[in-house]
Amino acid sequence: MALSEQTLPAQFRAAVSDGTRPIAPDASRRVVRLVGYFRLLAALVLLAVSLAAADVPLLAERWPALFRAVAAAYAALAAGLLLYQKRYPIPGPYRVPFLLTLDIVAVSVLLHTGGGVTSGIGGLLVVFVGAAALTLPGRHAFLAAALATIAVLGEQLLAFSQGFGDTNDFIASGLLGTIVFAIAAAAFPLAHRLEESEALAHQRGIDLANLAQLNEYIIQNLRESIVVVDADNVVRLMNQPAAEQLGYRLRVAGQPLRRVSAELERLLDDWRRGTEHGAQLPSFTSADGSTQINTYIAPLEGRPDGPVLVFLEDAGVLAEKVQQSKLAALGRLTASIAHEVRNPVGAMSHAGQLLEESPAIGAEERRLLQIIRTNSRRVSEIVDNILQLSRREASKPELLSLAAWTRGFVTEFTSTMELFEGQVAALTSEDVEVRMDPGHLHQVVWNLCENAVKYASEAAGGISVEISWGRMPGSRRPYLEIADRGPGIHEAMQDRVFEPFATGPSGGTGLGLFISRELCECNRAALLYEARKGGGSVFRIVFADPARWGA
């Protein structure tokens, strides 16, 4: 299907108005350059033949010296034009007509000083006019053919008047002019098809460039973190989420993987060697040290030693989805627990209290009643925690100063728990701002401090709870730490400390830390645990940086 002028790019439509071939600028440049080389070669060949056959002229020159001078000048001019075209490759609207005029004049002069139409030099006009017809509009191409024909016939008329040749040469000149017109007519549809092909190729190039930009935009804005690594462990592509997880802000494409993430390169090398089997690799810590990253590998060529596509997944996000599923299940159980468990437990506890008031029971019966009362209270606490979790409202974060907030909290907690001054202390003096729901932060820190006081009072050495805050060394994210010198958490329980209903030898409902972590995560914070050197526990709340994430 032919392309209309309205479908062409702007630079092609503009070219229509200045009289040049509009649709094939690249092809026009190639044709002009090729004709330039042919012009130089033709002039040099004519000069060389004339010099080599000086004794017996092969071209039957009428004026050999003048012929050689014209051929030499034509060759020098052709070389100069080639240098000019190399420096200015884009032809202007008048370059092709100028070059064609020059060729017609030069060939006519060479034809007249040489052997005339019988020498065959006039055949060069067929090439020059045919090439011009590929780059000029149709009417201009026929005008060029007419001028070339007139030049050939004019040269023959002049030669005949000077006594060179005979009347039969006019027939050869006419045939040459006819051939020139035929070549111009044949080049016109070819040029038209070339126009369409060039315009179509240009449009396809634009479409491919747009498609490449669209693909790049989609990849860069995917939520999934993607890294493409070639067989030499060189990063070929990495989108923005992956760069943020790996802590790399510079240009990544073309960088060795070890410079971007040495840990990821180690895992990939193990996978290539077959040390790690399957598509999922062991997780590793993110660049800011706040999350674990799960790694999945997909070979692009079906073999481990070729390029691979690496997917990075925030383990915290996956855990959050799992926890949301657990919360949904807990929410569905809440109503039945409230009706089916709480009321019977309340009735048993009340019956036990009434029975304890009876003067007829002995010491052994009172011990059994104490067991009933203790476990009834524990079941009631579990029900209350589950109800509290299911009724949790959406987070309403505010900008808080940790220095002022922590000192106020320490005063309130010490007074409420009737502790001595210094048993719960705020250690840091610098101020750090965080963004979190004040009620959620109060509930989390109160629960952590209450656990620290409870278990520290059961151990020797007394109560000592230290609260400190600051910024993480690598990511500069703000944090709040609650450290104690209690018995700590048993090593076997450390991996499950935030799971619901995970309890140790000391008992408890196993929901306090679970709820605390849920409250942190809904405020884009992380609650972490580590054993304290010298004994005790450290719970660290790592907040989202308000300067980076905003409200």
Q: Are residues 127 and 249 in the same domain?
A: no
Supply the pLDDT for residue 275.
Answer: 62
CB atoms within 10 A of CB 156: 26
Supply the pLDDT for residue 332.
Answer: 64
Instruction: Please tell me whether residue 95 adopts helix, strand or coil conformation.
Output: helix
Domain-embedded: residue 217: no
Q: Are residues 178 and 285 in the same domain?
A: no
Domain-embedded: residue 134: yes
Supply the pLDDT for residue 282.
Answer: 77
Q: Are residues 416 and 368 in the same domain?
A: no
Domain-embedded: residue 219: no
Q: Are residues 196 and 232 in the same domain?
A: no
Cα atoms found within 13 Å of the Cα of residue 203, Cβ hemisphere only: 15
Supply the pLDDT for residue 4.
Answer: 43
Q: Are residues 116 and 24 in the same domain?
A: yes
* Distance, CA of 31 to CA of 91 (rounded, Å): 11
Instruction: Please tell me whether residue 546 adopts helix, strand or coil conformation.
Output: helix
Q: Are residues 35 and 123 in the same domain?
A: yes
Supply the pLDDT for residue 348.
Answer: 78
Burial class of residue 292 (count of CB atoms within 10 Å of its CB; 0-12, 13-18, 19+): middle
Supply the pLDDT for residue 548.
Answer: 62
* Distance, CA of 439 to CA of 140 (rounded, Å): 85
Domain-embedded: residue 220: no
Q: Are residues 420 and 379 in the same domain?
A: no
Supply the pLDDT for residue 336.
Answer: 62
* Backbone angle region of 248, left / alpha / beta, with phi > 0 → left and psi within -120 to 50 → alpha: beta
Question: What residues of the chain score a pLDDT lower than 70?
Answer: 1-27, 54-58, 60, 90-93, 137-138, 188, 191-192, 249-251, 275-280, 287-290, 316-321, 323-324, 326-339, 342, 378, 381-382, 384-394, 457-462, 501-510, 547-551
Domain-embedded: residue 218: no
Q: Are residues 332 and 404 in the same domain?
A: no
Q: Are residues 90 and 151 in the same domain?
A: yes
Burial class of residue 326 (count of CB atoms within 10 Å of its CB; 0-12, 13-18, 19+): middle
* Distance, CA of 217 to CA of 248 (rounded, Å): 19
CB atoms within 10 A of CB 208: 10
Among 335, 355, 390, identify where a domain stops.
390
The domain tally of the chain equals: 4
Q: Are the CB atoms for 452 and 537 separated by under 8 Å?
A: yes
Alpha-helix runs per DSSP H in 165-280: 168-220, 240-246, 257-260, 262-273
Q: Do β-strands 465-471 and 424-426 pair in parallel, antiparallel, or remain unpaired?
A: parallel
Domain-embedded: residue 154: yes
Domain-embedded: residue 15: yes
Supply the pLDDT for residue 451.
Answer: 86
Among 390, 412, 431, identify where a domain stops.
390
Burial class of residue 92 (count of CB atoms within 10 Å of its CB; 0-12, 13-18, 19+): exposed
Its domain, for residue 349, covers 318-390
Positive or negative: CA dihedral 337, 338, 340, 343: positive
Q: Are residues 545 and 500 in the same domain?
A: yes
Supply the pLDDT for residue 405.
Answer: 92
Among 314, 339, 361, identify where a domain stops.
314
Domain CATH for 253: 3.30.450.20
Of 311, 316, 314, 300, whose CA–CA distance to 267 is shortest? 311
Q: Are residues 173 and 295 in the same domain?
A: no
* Distance, CA of 486 to CA of 336 (rounded, Å): 37
Amino acid found at 303: R
Q: Are residues 11 and 80 in the same domain?
A: yes
Domain-embedded: residue 492: yes
Amino acid found at 539: F
Give the orientation angle of helix 138-161 with respect to helix 124-133, to 10 degrees: 160
Residue written as tokens 């044949």?
Answer: 186
Residue written as tokens 């910024």?
Answer: 471
In angstroms, what CA-CA distances link 255 with 246, 282, 385? 14, 23, 51
